Amino acid sequence: MLDCQPGKQCCIIDTISLVKLCRLELGNKRAIEWLLEDFCIFIPRKVFEEGRRNIKNVNVGKEAKAGNKYQKGKTPHRNIKNVSIHEEREDTKKFLKIAQDCVHNGNMDACIELISRCVQEQKFKIDEGEKIAAALALKMSLVHRQFIIFLTDDFRAIEPLEKLLNIYKIGKVINSYDILIFLLAHHPVELKPEDVEIALKGLTQLLRNNDMPAYEEQKPDDLLYEYLFKLEKYYTSQYLEELGYILIPD
C-alpha cells in the first residue's frame, strides 16, 4: 500500500482531472508537479488505465500563444488564446512517469462494497470509476486518519460525491480551478497571478474540448469568469479563509 508522507495531505484524483493536470503548464512546471509538492496523490488502477487511454487519444492541437488579456467586467471570449499545453508525445511520457508511482494496487473490496451499497441506497448518479475513487478515499481516510481531498472536474458528479463523502466524513470535493488558486496561495514566490491566469484559461480550453458530460453541467467559460474574479481577490484575507478547507487540519 502507498504511504502518505508526513506533513502532506492525501489527494484522490479522478480521470478527467488527472489528464488535465498532467497536460497543463503552471509557471515552469506541470500543474501535477506542483500538486505533488503539497499532496500525496493516490490514483485507483481503473482511473490510471482510463487516463492512459484518454491522454493518448486527446488532441488539442498546437500550443497557443498568450494573448487576449482578460478584462474586468467582460465575459471571456470563447476562443481564448492564453493556453500553455505540451505536445502529445511529451504529455504521454510525463503522464506515465508521474502517475504510475501514484497508482494504488491494494485490496479495496470492503470499501468498494460499502460505497456501492451507499450509492445504490441513496441513488447517487456517479459512474464506476468515481465509485472506486470514492472507495479509495474512504480507505485512505481510515488508514491515515486524515481529511481527504477528492479532486474531480466531472461537474455532474460533484454534488453526489460531496454527499457521499459527507456521509462517511471522508473529506472535501474540489475541482482543478480550486487547486490552481490554492497553489498560487501556497507558492507566492515561485508562482505569480499571471501564471495562474494563463493556467486557468488553458484548463478552460481543455474542458471545453472535453467530450465527457462536465461541459453540459457547467460551462467552462462560466467557470473561467468565476475563477478569474477569485484570482483578482485572492490576496484578501476573506478569500484565503475560503481556501482554508483545503489546508491540512491542525
pLDDT of residue 220: 80
pLDDT tier at 111, thresholds 50, 70, 90: very high
**Does residue 207 surpass a pLDDT of 90?**
no
pTM passes above 0.75: yes
pLDDT tens for each residue of 163-186: 999 999 999 999 999 999 989 888
Domains and CATH numbers, the chain: 9-246 (3.40.50.1010)
**Does residue 162 surpass a pLDDT of 60?**
yes
Higher pLDDT, 151 or 45: 151
Q: Which three cell numbers stand for residue 165?
A: 463523502
pLDDT of residue 170: 94
**Does residue 116 surpass a pLDDT of 90?**
yes
Higher pLDDT, 195 or 84: 195
CB of 76 closer than 8 Å to CB of 70: yes
